Amino acid sequence: MINLLTKFKNEFKSLLQIGLPIFGSQVSYVFMGTTDTLVAGRASSTDLAGLAIGSAITHPIWLLIAGITFAITPIVAQLYGAKEFNKIGYKLGEVVWISIFLGSLFLLIYPNLYLLVNLLQLDPEVAKISGEYLKALSVGMFAITIFTCLRCYSEGMAITLPIFYISLGGMLINIPLDIIFVYGYFGVPKMGGVGCGYATSIVSVFMTLALICYIAKSKNYTITKPFQKLPFPSKGTLIEIFKLGFPIGLGIFIELAMFSGAALIISPLGKEIVAGHAIAMNIASFFFVISLSIGLAAATRVGNLIGAKRMLDARFASISSIVLCTMIAFINTVIILTFKDQLSALFSTEEAVVMVASNLLIFAAIFQIPDGAQIGAIGALRGYKDTFAPMIITLLVYWFMAVPFGYFLTFYGFSEPLGASGMWIAMIAGLSVFAVLISMRVQWISNKFSKVIN
């Protein structure tokens, strides 16, 4: 028993060593969204609702397409574990072109997403803000796709600290830019919630250029010879990236589409309900990044161990990831339940919005536990390059269970409509089922790899 606890402790240290800088980066990304929500929310509930709907559309679409680049982490991790360094640099050159192509799609898609917004039953002013916000994001989505490609390359080699520094810089720049564009200072016209979109685009370009320069100059990456060759992707690389990456992107799209679908389902309930839901989701996302960081670290850790042919260690790292993420989630639950009223009040000055958010945070707190367990398992499976089965499980559980059930509870219920609470109850149920199934998948795939090597 003592030996097992010591082994867990050592594995936790390895995961945290990789994951803590990732956590810093993820906090920076989330805090950018939090800053957007705070600044837009204090402008008006209309601006906040417009931003919430725009964000609900933004993230699933970006992840569906650009999520393909997440395949780079396990590919690089396994090559790095196997010490095939020359292949890493060459592979990077190929996937950079893929990320440029994927990013270019957003320059065409985002300026026209107002057509989708106009199909929703929204307040006209909210719809206008959402559409203009999405247009403002187009350049930023192009840049952040390239940034994500390079970030995954770096994280695959467990070089995570530079990403944190650059992300922190982006977060700090985003604060004054949000204030300037939303409220209108220094000759810039007052844009309201739309200004958050322009701020995000500027920050995304800055972060991408900073990471390109750092990788090109830093000795940390010299062994892989980045940017020395930029070959167009071969057929084999295209198949590898899309076969591994498309299920990742689609799986995340399905998951986030559930959250976005929740926002859209409750949108007819009024802008105060939509704004309160956005605040609760934002707070839940902020706390979730701790577990998410360990899940992302697990993809690198497990991939490195598999590349080194240490299959039993990879299996233990997978189990450790689930355990650690779940422990963190329990702590998050206690914090959210204890400070739900104070947290809600940070995001809005309107009493009705704060009350809705505070009530929904009870569900958001419970939500943390299955969400933490599933992200630890998902990260481990990515390290094994097992992405297709998780995508199928995600689709079945979220869209054939959680979303329909949430719609039913929101507008009908078993005795009376539950409103926004019904949607949260359904999401918790869906995540709980998913966490159990995906953890069972980890057990199966890790056992399979262990038997093959032995």
Q: DSSP letter string over 223-249?
A: GG-TTS--PPPPHHHHHHHHHHHHHHH
Q: Identify the pLDDT of residue 452.
A: 62
Average pLDDT over residues 236-248: 89
Considering all CA atoms of the chain, what is the largest pairwise distance in Å, rounded to the nearest integer?
68
With the C-alpha atoms ordered 389, 394, 399, 402, is the resulting torsion angle positive or negative? positive
Cβ atoms 379, 310 nearer than 8 A: no
State yes or no: pLDDT of 454 exceeds 60. no
State yes or no: pLDDT of 250 exceeds 80. yes
Between 125-129, 248-252, 287-291, 395-399, the lowest mean confidence (pLDDT) is in 125-129
Confidence of residue 453 (pLDDT cuts 50, 70, 90): low
State yes or no: pLDDT of 2 exceeds 70. no
Confidence of residue 1 (pLDDT cuts 50, 70, 90): low
Helix (H), strand (E) at residue 400: none
The three-class DSSP label of residue 160 is coil
Average pLDDT over residues 394-402: 89
Highest mean pLDDT among 43-47, 193-197, 233-237, 299-303: 299-303
Q: What is the pLDDT of residues 6-46, one digit of tens each?
A: 888 888 888 888 888 988 888 888 788 878 888 887 777 77
Residues of the chain with pLDDT > 90, as a percent, come to: 33
Nearest residue to 366 (alpha-carbon basis) of 276, 291, 296, 284: 284
The three-class DSSP label of residue 354 is helix
Average pLDDT over residues 126-140: 85
Q: Identify the pLDDT of residue 420.
A: 77
What Rg value do the Cα atoms of the chain yield, rounded? 21
The angle, 0 to 180 degrees and rounded to 10, between the axes of the packed helices 45-66 and 138-156 is: 50
Q: What is the pLDDT of residues 62-113, one digit of tens each?
A: 888 888 888 899 999 999 988 888 889 888 889 999 999 999 999 998 888 7
Which stretches does DSSP call E strand in 147-296?
Answer: none
Between 73-82, 120-129, 293-302, 309-318, the lowest mean confidence (pLDDT) is in 120-129
Helix (H), strand (E) at residue 266: helix 235-266
Of 36 and 396, the structure prediction assigns the larger pLDDT to: 396
State yes or no: pLDDT of 256 exceeds 80. no
Q: Identify the pLDDT of residue 380.
A: 93
**Token pair of 294 as six digits:** 């360990």
Contacts of 277 (CB under 8 A, 6+ apart): 52, 262, 263, 266, 356, 357, 360, 420, 423
Cβ atoms 356, 276 nearer than 8 A: yes
Q: Identify the pLDDT of residue 54.
A: 82
Q: What is the pLDDT of residues 99-112, one digit of tens each?
A: 999 999 999 988 88
Average pLDDT over residues 412-433: 86
Cβ atoms 392, 251 nearer than 8 A: no
> Nearest 5 degrees, angle CA 418-CA 421-CA 426?
95
CB atoms within 10 A of CB 447: 12
With the C-alpha atoms ordered 189, 194, 200, 202, is the resulting torsion angle positive or negative? negative
How far is Cα 49 from Cα 47, in angstroms, rounded to an integer?
Answer: 5
Question: Which value, to the nearest 10 degrees, does the dihedral of the CA atoms of residues 272, 275, 277, 282 take?
Answer: -160
Between 202-216, 228-242, 254-268, 307-321, the lowest mean confidence (pLDDT) is in 254-268
State yes or no: pLDDT of 267 exceeds 80. no
The chain-wide mean pLDDT, for the chain, equals: 86
Q: What proportions of the chain, in percent to the nearest 5, are helix, strand and coil?
A: 85, 0, 15
Of 298 and 410, the structure prediction assigns the larger pLDDT to: 298
Q: Identify the pLDDT of residue 451.
A: 73
